[in-house]
């Protein structure tokens, strides 16, 4: 019998999705909380060479992160692709809302996504979503997911790999080899974290550099960490990590541009040191990160001994495979009109992947609803919804 162990932390959304995947496919597993058990955390690090979660051990194979493609290869079921009225790419606020609205219009709907929740999962606290005084990004996305699962919507944990159109029908292929056909498409796959662009960065991902503080934060209890960035996400991460880590260095390339509420909270925290007009120029360490070099605008350099760095410097749109299929702007965002239409008939887009100026969960959700209603109207006009 296959032995599966999942090393996770309590608030890690990708850990939750890994466990949900295993449970869906009837795979028994042992769950170990490495945020609460320091000895098990050291064991996980020795096994994987990673200071990040989730880590999934399947017999003698170590899987780092929520690798949906590999988990599908090991435990997934072979299913026919099928044809749908609407195919939605992405399961963040925009994609999940679009799916719910499509289902309410009685449209056959498929959502393809590598994860459920998108970048909203990485928010420690959401304080500006109506109906909630404060809610974590994971909790909010769980509410979205629960509502979607009440409807007849097929949800595939997979990655869309290619798109084409023939005779008014769209064909979508995935990294696991599946093929799907749809009358309309809604792109809502959001963005991915921007990298530091410093030599050696890839080598330290999971070995001191983290792009998910809600996942990996507990592994740095009592350690020295830095947060790079000056926006809301960066300050929020610095504030949360100040109660976990021994010290936090906030490294800001220019000046802090976060909302006043986060700036005020930051002022009263004694173990946070702010370095404005400063950038990271070098990373130090062998197997794991041990420090960084920072340089200010005057050219003065300083080396900071650190155990971890959380990168919060913005996001890049997930449109690499869409260039040529729909029109993109200079930032590689999908160009849409006020009603979420792209330049290709039958193809819509919503959320942070678009050229919509404001990137907020509530705006993405609203645009998801709008895109779904526009897809429904398109199907009715084209006579494809009968």
Q: So which residues are the catalytic ones?
A: 212, 215-216
Per-position DSSP letters for 201-233, written without gaps between them: HHHHBTTTEES-HHHHGGGGTTSEEEEE--SHH
The SS3 of residue 279 is: strand
Per-position DSSP letters for 51-118, written without gaps between them: SSS-EEEETTEEEES--HHHHHHHHPPP----EEEEEEE--SHHHHHHHHHHHHTT--EEEEESSSSG
Closest residue by Cα to residue 92 from 71, 113, 67: 113
Indicate the DSSP class of residue 190.
-
Residue showing tokens 């020295």: 224
Contact 156, 110 (CB under 8 A): yes
Indicate the DSSP class of residue 334.
B
Contact 136, 125 (CB under 8 A): yes
Q: How far apart are CA 5 and CA 29, in angstroms?
A: 5
Give the phi and the psi of residue 40 in degrees, each rounded to 5. -70, -30
CA atoms within 13 A on the CB side of 156: 27
- To which H or E segment does residue 239 belong? helix 232-241
Closest residue by Cα to residue 19 from 330, 11, 30: 30
């Amino acid at each position: 019998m296959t032995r599966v162990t999942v090393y996770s932390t309590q608030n890690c959304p990708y850990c939750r999705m890994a466990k949900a995947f295993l449970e869906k496919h009837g795979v028994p597993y042992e769950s170990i909380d490495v945020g609460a058990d320091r000895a098990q955390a050291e064991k996980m690090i020795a096994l994987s060479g990673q200071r990040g979660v989730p880590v999934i051990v399947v017999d003698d194979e170590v899987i780092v992160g929520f690798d949906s493609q590999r988990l599908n290869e090991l435990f997934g079921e072979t299913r026919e692709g099928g044809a749908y009225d609407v195919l939605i790419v992405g399961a963040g606020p925009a994609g999940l809302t679009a799916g719910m609205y499509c289902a309410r219009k009685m449209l056959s709907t498929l959502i393809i996504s590598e994860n459920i929740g998108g970048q909203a999962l990485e928010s420690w606290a959401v304080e500006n979503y109506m109906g909630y005084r404060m809610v974590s990004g994971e909790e909010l996305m769980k509410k979205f997911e629960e509502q979607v699962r009440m409807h007849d919507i097929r949800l595939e944990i997979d990655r869309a790999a290619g798109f084409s159109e023939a005779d008014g029908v769209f064909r979508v292929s995935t990294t696991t080899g599946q093929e799907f056909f749809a009358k309309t498409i809604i792109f809502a796959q959001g963005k991915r974290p921007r990298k530091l662009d410093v030599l050696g960065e890839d080598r330290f991902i999971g070995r001191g550099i983290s792009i998910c503080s809600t996942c990996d934060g507990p592994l740095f209890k009592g350690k020295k960490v830095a947060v790079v960035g000056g926006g809301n996400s960066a300050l929020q991460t610095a504030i949360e990590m100040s109660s976990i880590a021994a010290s936090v260095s906030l490294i800001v390339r220019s000046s802090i541009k976060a909302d006043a509420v986060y700036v005020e909270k930051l002022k009263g925290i004694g173990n946070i040191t702010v370095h404005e007009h400063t950038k990271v120029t070098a990373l130090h360490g062998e197997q794991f990160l041990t420090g960084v070099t920072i340089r200010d605008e005057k050219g003065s350099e300083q080396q900071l001994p650190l155990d971890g760095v959380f990168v919060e410097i913005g996001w890049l749109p997930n449109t690499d495979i869409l260039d040529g299929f729909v029109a993109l702007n200079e930032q590689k965002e999908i160009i849409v009109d006020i009603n979420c239409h792209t330049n290709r008939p039958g193809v819509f887009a919503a959320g942070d992947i678009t050229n919509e100026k404001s990137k907020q969960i509530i705006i993405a959700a609203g645009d998801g609803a709008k895109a779904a209603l526009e897809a429904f109207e398109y199907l009715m006009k084209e006579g494809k919804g009968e």
